Amino acid sequence: MNIVCIGGGHGLAQVLSAIKPVCNQLTAIVATTDNGGSTGKIRQLHNCIALGDIRRCSVQLADDSVVTRKIYEHRFTTGDLKGHCLGNLVLLNMLQASHSATAAIAKFNKLLGNSETVLPMTESPTDLVAILSNGEEVFGECAIDALNSLPDKIYLSNKVAASPGCVDAILNADLVIIGPGSIISSVMPALLIDDILRAVEKTSACRVFIENTAEENSVMKHIQSAGIDWLQEQLGSKIYDLSISPSAISEILASNSHFKNHSNHLHDISELNHIFCTFLKSSIDESPLV
């Protein structure tokens, strides 16, 4: 099965690790608008896309036996490099050498021994911008996440094109998985790129949205309705065919005694793997979980 996963943050990385054993072709399309932490510092200094989530996804896909998996996740604790992750710096070096984010990421994944494809949503730097009800503009993910009420509109600071391969991957997929993760900072960014949104609309793949089981620690905690409904209103488009809800997730896990006391999150790889295996089996049996 050819599967494409769209998102960012820890959620996407864990989904990739969980879905890897049950498909023969896997592509990740990663959000690149993070402007916080060490990733934000690198972006500010080098005017590049966010590399942190790309590193996280690539390293997560690497086999546990790969020594470099731990090396690239090393984070410096002192000196001028304090807070920086080695993998981000290696990616930056490759990016500067190749002048292509897609090529740099492919080389990084080759070093890790990954056969899966990891694509940035775009090769061009761009940020999230929110417009509040009073007309004020708020720039960047960090500032938007810290808001006390949902903005009226969110858009990208630069109108950017999708990275090479993103559109074809979505159009040729059998299954497109969106989420889990922060609606605004993980799920939304890639879908704000016109080419990617159109591809998600046009693909013949089954589009599955994975809902969060825990409340977001972001501005989305102020929403009164389902996050996916708000997102689709923002995008002006329906982006999924099936939604795996928290109740469905609980039911799937409860059916297996191994997960009787499962934690209230979606970032456990073994739980996710069980959920995907159950979902894919139900899809084959034409009894999808919604």
pLDDT of residue 226: 74
pLDDT of residue 266: 47
Q: Which residues of the chain have pLDDT under 50?
A: 265-266, 284, 287-290
pLDDT of residue 126: 98
Q: Is residue 264 part of a domain?
A: yes
What digits encode the pLDDT tens for the residues 57-94?
A: 999 999 876 677 788 889 999 988 988 999 999 999 99
| CATH code (residue 26) | 3.40.50.10680
Alpha helices in 221-264 (DSSP H): 227-235, 246-254
Q: Is residue 290 part of a domain?
A: no
The SS3 of residue 85 is: strand
pLDDT of residue 259: 53
Q: Is residue 10 part of a domain?
A: yes
Short-list 276, 6, 277, 272, CA closest to 118: 6
Structural domain count, the chain: 1
What digits encode the pLDDT tens for the residues 176-194?
A: 999 888 999 999 999 999 9
Q: Is residue 114 part of a domain?
A: yes
pLDDT of residue 253: 63
Q: Is residue 48 part of a domain?
A: yes
Q: Is residue 175 part of a domain?
A: yes
The residue segments making up the domain with residue 44 are 2-284
The SS3 of residue 115 is: coil
Q: Is residue 289 part of a domain?
A: no
